[in-house]
Amino acid sequence: MRRRESKERVSFGMGRLFGTDGVRGVANADLTPAVALALATSAAQVLVPAGADRPRAVVGRDPRASGEMLEAAVAAGLASAGVDVLLLGVVPTPAVAFLTAELSADLGVVISASHNAMPDNGIKIFAAGGLKLDDAVEDAIESGLGLPSALPTGAGVGRITSATDSIGRYLDHLQACTPHSLAGLSIVVDCANGAAFSVAPEIYRRAGAEVVVIAGEPDGLNINDGVGSTHLDVLRAAVVAHGADLGIAHDGDADRCLAIAADGSDVDGDAILAILAVALNRTGRLHRSTVVGTVMANIGFHQAMKKAGIEVVTTGVGDRYVLEEMRTGGYSLGGEQSGHVVLADQATTGDGVLTALHLMSEVAFTGRSLADLASAVVRFPQVLINVRVGDKAAVADSASVAAAVAAAEAELAGSGRVLLRPSGTEPLVRVMVEAATAEQAQEVAGRVAAVVALA
């Protein structure tokens, strides 16, 4: 097959593209169609086995306006590398992961900036089997960006088609994974005007719940706009107003969920993870009676798991690190305080809709309220301050910051902790403090944050 050489190298200007969860930037400014096209071409060349006959990729997106533009660029990049492309349309990120595996695709691509505001967009890539990429693969993709490469011509160019049953396949999968009927439950679901707007209400109703939908009318501009898992007040008000048993909040691409109990109280990822761990352990499906969490998990979560006879393995922040630990240790459940939860026996990545189905199933099965189930996790007050910095590496090397942290930990004396964590996508250092009282946590966090700001 004749191949042509691509001579043009694209200029990116974004520094390292990959963050903790794919590539993100302001659409058409940082993340341009040229970047998307080159990224997709390089990803295909890295992830598709040499000599593969008619390799295939699936591509999905959330409903933000720039998604259509970037979808076209990604599809063009993949096709130019000889990959047949199946466009899934607007679907949750975990649906793309599922369909990558279900359809035996060589890779999957999601165009979404998750919980970020509408001007942003992003690109997430799954390898064959719907698995997230490790650092080495991301580095290989980035190294090939815009470099001259041999591309197919003629019949070797990939074809682009639109899927007709992608949502149906995913819904059937979710229905098969639902542990118990939700009959008798009344719920409110906040779809964040995002990718969950059709899937979540449909599957919750199929499972038997009475469903009220809010933020379920995406127009391309209103995704995550004051709603969703990062803005719980609207859902809280709706749960109380409707007298619902609980509320579920998704983010823009529906790979996470948080919840609101009937009394209006928040149920965060720590509590959700604890509830699911106890449920799986009761039925013998919590492998090795162990759950995987991150360093951000509240001390109260650790105490609840110890009381339940469940071990906790801790990783760095980011669902990719949770997933890596789960695969290495053969664990079946892991997640983050932010609401990313991975049920490894049924999904290859965090799935907010699947998580919600398991959470609501436990409420229905036990007959206990969500607030009662969540009360097993007695939270230590936790304060998180995002400090904008010029150089995250300088903060890590700062003697004054190290001294401030040491002094704070000595003051807490085992009744709390201090954690400094650089953001993977923004010029921020996150200062997290847990303490016996909210006042102490706020005072200590403010003091450490002030030193970080000057470093």
Same domain, 72 and 16: yes
Same domain, 147 and 177: no
* Residue after which a domain boundary falls, among 108, 131, 164: 164
Residue 182 near residue 245 (C-beta atoms within 8 A):
no
Residue-wise pLDDT for 434-444, tens only, equals 998 999 999 99
Same domain, 61 and 188: no
Of the candidates 70, 2, 62, which has an alpha carbon nearest to the alpha carbon of residue 38? 70
The predicted pLDDT at position 16 comes to 65
* Residue after which a domain boundary falls, among 118, 146, 164: 164
Residue-wise pLDDT for 358-367, tens only, equals 999 999 999 9
Residue 386 near residue 230 (C-beta atoms within 8 A):
no
What 3-state class would DSSP assign to 259? strand
What 3-state class would DSSP assign to 342? strand
The predicted pLDDT at position 423 comes to 82
- Written as six digits, the tokens of 349 are 């990545």
Per DSSP, the chain holds a count of helices (H) and strands (E) of 15, 22
Give the CA distances from residue 390 to residues 41, 445, 449, in Å, rounded to whole numbers and listed in that order: 33, 20, 14
Same domain, 121 and 249: no
The predicted pLDDT at position 10 comes to 39
* Residue after which a domain boundary falls, among 164, 182, 204: 164
Of the candidates 266, 291, 303, which has an alpha carbon nearest to the alpha carbon of residue 341? 291
The predicted pLDDT at position 15 comes to 54
Q: Count of domains in the chain? A: 3
Does the predicted model carry a pTM greater than 0.85? yes
Same domain, 146 and 179: no
The predicted pLDDT at position 110 comes to 98
Binding positions for Mg(2+): 114, 251, 253, 255
Query: Any idea what the CATH number is for the domain that residue 153 is in?
Result: 3.40.120.10
Domain containing residue 340: 169-374
The predicted pLDDT at position 230 comes to 94
The predicted pLDDT at position 13 comes to 47
The predicted pLDDT at position 14 comes to 46
Catalytic residues: 114
Q: Phi/psi at 130 (nearest 5 deg)?
A: 75, 25
The predicted pLDDT at position 159 comes to 98
Same domain, 327 and 356: yes
Of the candidates 196, 198, 206, which has an alpha carbon nearest to the alpha carbon of residue 172? 206
Q: In the chain, which residues have pLDDT < 70? A: 1-16, 425
Structure letter (DSSP) for residue 251: -
